[in-house]
Amino acid sequence: MTKAEIYKETAQQIAAVIDGEPSRTARYATASCLLSESFDAFFWTGFYVVDTNKPQELVVGPYQGSLGCLRIPFSRGVCGAAARTGETQLVEDVHKFPGHIACDSRTNSEIVVPVYDESGALAAVLDVDSEAFSAFDETDKTALEAICKTLLIGADA
């Protein structure tokens, strides 16, 4: 199967599992598990959610992988950049990214995709890290953005 085909199948699985499920946490957990199981190159796969008590800060949510940092301010790291700009960050070499936060020194490349709720507010970011350099490309960007776009449709506010 091509990478695009694996993404298509994984997106269908996620949609089927979360159908009718109002909990955002359950949806984030389902996506991180199924994405992580689909791709061996995904070393860390998970969500940082906007802290409702501190709107300029992300706090770790459901993930698969080694221990992640608990909190990331919008001003820092690749996740912060995605939250701040509202744009996907595709980083081929994290060591060249200003302010990169090394939660695990084995990470060499990553992609971070913003997740919006149904009202259009930023709810979280999806962070996928790899031990390989340049592990992610436009196929990953398109597919992960599509998954994130529908992830919170039908979820509780």
Q: Is 78 in the site for ligand SME (CB under 6 A)?
A: yes
Write down the residue that tokens 């940082």 correspond to: 48
- Please state, in angstroms and rounded to a whole number, the distance separating the CA atoms of residues 5 and 12: 11
What's the closest the beta carbon of residue 82 comes to ligand SME, in angstroms?
Answer: 8
Q: Is 79 in the site for ligand SME (CB under 6 A)?
A: yes
- Identified binder of ligand SME from the candidate list 7, 42, 44, 47, rule CB under 6 A: 44
**Token couple for 141:** 């960007």
Q: Is 47 in the site for ligand SME (CB under 6 A)?
A: no
- Please state, in angstroms and rounded to a whole number, the distance separating the CA atoms of residues 10 and 56: 31
Which stretches of the chain bind ligand SME, using CB under 6 A? 44, 68-69, 72, 77-79, 100-101, 103, 107, 110, 127, 129
